[in-house]
Amino acid sequence: MTLNDTYKTIRKANIGEGFYSEKRSKFLAFAHHVESVEEAMELVKEYRKKYYDARHCCYAYRLGVEGKDFRMNDDGEPSSTAGKPILGQIVSAELTDVFICVIRYYGGVNLGTGGLIVAYREAAADALRNVEVEEKFVEEIIDFSFSYPMMNDVMKIVKEMNPRIIHQQFDNTCEMRFAIRKSAAEILRKRLNSLAFGE
């Protein structure tokens, strides 16, 4: 069994836009890549400012590799008719580190709870249809210090295993910091340590 060390999110530079209308109510949806609650809340602020004349600014976000950090907000709509269906779309697309905001311009006709759920769900789904999804690796950080004469051996392992080099400093004692996908971290650690102990 392989270790599950990948997750899906949407590309950073990519903002997915969606639209849905029902009985003259308009729902504008925006999907973003976010990596923190602060980032998500900043977006809420921006959308409330930009669409200050809209009746509702509902949203949901899901964060973290396992998607356990999430929140939804109905912004005055009946409970669970807005935030929950928005979050539902993020979950069913198996995405994380994603924020979706849906702006509603009220059309003068009540949609009822069923109608609202459909509207917010469809607007969010439409936004997600317009994003680029990417698969990312869960990474582990490895720090390794070694003496300068070991440089060639270390670089040979780095070339073969291709970790991402975050930091390097070469002196009498050399230091390197790597990020590598979780499933390969133990192998990299063992190989580097075997050099250190001259095995």
74-93: pLDDT as tens digits: 999 999 999 999 999 999 99
pLDDT tier at 198 (50, 70, 90 boundaries)? low
Q: Which helix (H) or strand (E) holds 112?
A: helix 112-129
Tokens of 180: 């590598």
DSSP class of residue 95? B
3-state secondary structure of 78: coil
More confident residue, 64 or 101: 101
- pLDDT of 1 above 50: no
pLDDT tier at 5 (50, 70, 90 boundaries)? confident
One-letter identity of residue 16: G
pLDDT recorded at residue 42: 97
* Residue-averaged pLDDT of the chain: 91
Minimum mean pLDDT range among 46-60, 67-81, 161-175: 161-175
pLDDT, tens digit, 9 for 90 and up, residues 34-50: 999 999 999 999 999 99
